[in-house]
């Protein structure tokens, strides 16, 4: 039997309150609230991480992101996927680093010279952009076909070093990463903490972080704990935490599967049954934290969403970077943007009656201004 029963609307309100809080002041305020911000290089309108931060910080600039890196307040690594994380959480990723080191162990030897050269230059010269490491030799890496070597050897070596934890992203200049040696970049006290913690403890703390990031979670999520647990391990993990009263089982009206909430969040969840929601408009990027669990979006918001950027153009229903529109605690439709940076014009196609909503149109105008667009063109389409 579930410990708590709530309506869908209460569950939605709880998620919106938790994951889209009132405007925050800084990147680290967002990281403290969300636990992580997912990175993505696609910039049809703007990169995902910048859009996530724009939705939550009063006056956001892309330099706020680079400042968080260069001032060592945050670092990049793998959580939900590639993410920006608060620097204090570096020790929690020890298990991930060790497992990736094992995965790369065999191949790493194939690039011994390139790796040694990168580490030596970073040791001698300090942080350097990825473009400082140029190699004529091409290897199979990244998204290459197994029989087609088209990745620079140094690019592949940088990837290995980053995933194994030998180097860190120290900054970004547009799409170019800057790298530094981990032993020269991560604050000494945090390095010592990472050395002392054992993998089991780190993984347990990483599970805690996942649960705080998702707020409402279920055992079917293959990303549970960000540790690639199988189905049985996921069930056992949540069952054990429920037994210890660290979390409660939640039955949501009209939803078959059970969800869970942290004990610390249970009171807030129940209170959302009668809470007011500010009717603000948000345009959610495809990898926004609220959208991480697509099944949860469909069950709680009665809203189907698929990111169509990897769908062949002829099979798309909307567009490559369609963004759900959130008004209060309801997803009311979709918009498909394209930002022509050269001419400073934002093109926005709206669906499902969104373009007829005056509040949404006003928010679109503010959205265009925040991107630096000088003109906005809105087109209404039917689906």
Task: Give tens-digit pLDDT for 251-297.
Answer: 999 999 999 999 999 999 999 999 887 789 999 999 999 999 999 99
What is the spatial distance between Cα 286 and Cα 48, in angstroms, rounded to a whole number? Answer: 7
In this structure, what DSSP letter does residue 24 have?
Answer: B
- Mean pLDDT in residue range 143-164: 88
CA distances from 296 to 123, 319, 320, 334 (A): 46, 22, 22, 18
Tokens of 4: 């708590």
pTM (two decimals): 0.95
Confidence class for position 150, pLDDT limits 50, 70, 90: confident
The C-alpha angle 198, 214, 35, rounded to 5 degrees, equals 60
Length of the chain: 383
- Which residue ranges make up each domain of the chain? 1-275, 303-380
The vertex-23 CA angle with 18 and 25, nearest 5°, equals 110
Q: Under a CB-based contact definition with an 8 Å cutoff, are residues 59 and 26 in contact?
A: no
Q: 236-253: b or e for each residue (b if 16 or more CB lie within 10 Å)? A: ebbeebbeeeebbbbbbe
* The pLDDT value given to residue 144: 74
Residue found by looking up tokens 């088209």 in the block: 150
**What string of H, E and C letters represents the secondary structure of 309-332?**
CCCCHHHCCCCCCCEEEEECCEEE
- Give the pLDDT mean for 210-214: 98
The model's confidence at residue 149, banded by pLDDT at 50, 70 and 90, is confident
CA atoms of 209 and 289, how far apart (whole Å): 14
**pLDDT tens string 8-59:** 999 999 999 999 998 999 999 999 999 999 999 999 999 999 999 999 998 9
Query: In the prediction, which pLDDT does 328 show?
Result: 94
Strands annotated E in 182-255: 216-217, 247-252
Answer whether 354's CB lies under 8 Å from 366's CB. no
Please, which residues have CB within 8 angstroms of residue 81's CB and are 6 or more apart in sequence? 38, 39, 287
């Amino acid at each position: 039997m579930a410990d708590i029963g709530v309506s869908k609307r209460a569950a939605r309100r709880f998620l919106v309150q938790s994951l889209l809080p009132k405007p925050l002041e800084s990147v680290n305020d967002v990281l403290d609230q969300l636990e992580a911000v997912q990175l993505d290089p696609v910039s049809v309108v703007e990169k995902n991480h910048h859009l996530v931060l724009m939705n939550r910080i009063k006056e956001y600039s892309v330099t706020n992101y680079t400042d968080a890196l260069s001032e060592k307040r945050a670092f990049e690594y793998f959580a939900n996927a590639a993410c920006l994380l608060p620097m204090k959480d570096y020790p929690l990723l020890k298990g991930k680093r060790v497992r990736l080191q094992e995965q790369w162990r065999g191949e790493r030897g194939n690039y011994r010279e390139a790796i040694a050269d990168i580490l030596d230059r970073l040791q001698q010269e300090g942080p350097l952009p990825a473009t400082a490491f140029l190699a004529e030799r091409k290897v199979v890496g990244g998204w290459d076909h197994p029989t087609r070597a088209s990745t620079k050897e140094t690019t592949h070596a940088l990837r290995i070093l980053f995933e194994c934890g030998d180097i860190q992203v120290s900054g970004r200049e547009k799409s170019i990463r800057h790298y530094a040696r981990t032993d020269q970049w991560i604050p000494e006290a945090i390095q010592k903490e990472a050395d002392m913690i054992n993998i089991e403890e780190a993984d347990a703390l990483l599970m805690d972080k996942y649960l705080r990031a998702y707020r409402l979670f279920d055992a079917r999520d293959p990303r549970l704990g960000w540790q690639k647990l199988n189905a049985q391990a996921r069930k056992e993990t949540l069952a054990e935490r429920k037994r210890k009263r660290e979390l409660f089982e939640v039955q949501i009206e009209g939803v078959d599967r059970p969800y869970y909430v942290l004990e610390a969040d249970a009171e807030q969840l129940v209170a959302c049954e009668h809470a007011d929601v500010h009717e603000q408009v948000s345009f959610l990027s495809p990898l926004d934290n609220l959208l991480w669990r697509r099944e949860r979006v469909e069950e709680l918001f009665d809203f189907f969403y698929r990111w169509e950027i990897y769908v062949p153009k002829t099979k798309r229903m909307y567009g490559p970077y369609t963004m759900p529109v959130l008004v209060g605690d309801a997803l009311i439709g979709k918009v498909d943007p394209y930002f022509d940076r050269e001419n400073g014009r934002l093109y926005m196609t709206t669906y499902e009656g969104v373009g007829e909503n005056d509040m949404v149109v006003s928010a679109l105008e503010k959205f265009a201004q925040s991107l630096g667009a000088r003109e906005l063109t809105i087109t209404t389409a039917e689906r």
